[in-house]
Structure 1
Amino acid sequence: MSVPKCPHEGCKSELGVESCKKFLPPMLIEMLQGRIKEASIPVTEKVYCPYPRCSALMSRSEISEEYAKNAFVGSERSGARKCIKCHGLFCINCKVPWHNAMTCSDYKILNPNIPAEDLKLNSLATKNKWRQCGKCNNMIEHTEGCWHMTCICGHEFCYNCGAERKNNRPTCSCPAWDVRRIWFDNHGDFDDDDLF
Structure 2
Amino acid sequence: MDDLTAILVAKLQLEDIDELTDRSKDKQGCLTDADHALIAYKEELQELETFISDRRLGRSISEAVQSDGEYITAARVEEQNALRDRHLACALGGVRDSQKDAADKLAYVDVDEELLRRLSLLNDSQNPFSLSEESHIAGEPSTSESVLSHTTASEIPRRQCVACQERKHTFDVLEAPCHHIYCRDCVSDLFQTSTTDESLFPPRCCRQNIPLTLASDFLTSQFMDRFEEKEIEFTTLDRTYCAQSTCSAFIPSHRIDGDRASCPMCHQDTCTICKGLSHDEDCPNDRALQNLLATAAEAGWRRCYACRRFVELEQGCNHMTCLCRAEFCYSAFMLEEPRLFNATISPVMLKSNNDGWNTLYRIYANDMSANTNAGYMYADRTYAKSVITHFLSTYLNADNAAFRPATAVDGTGCKDVKHR
Q: TM-score range by the shorter chain?
A: 0.3 to 0.5
TM-score (norm 2): 0.19
Greater helix share, 1 or 2?
2
Larger radius of gyration: 2
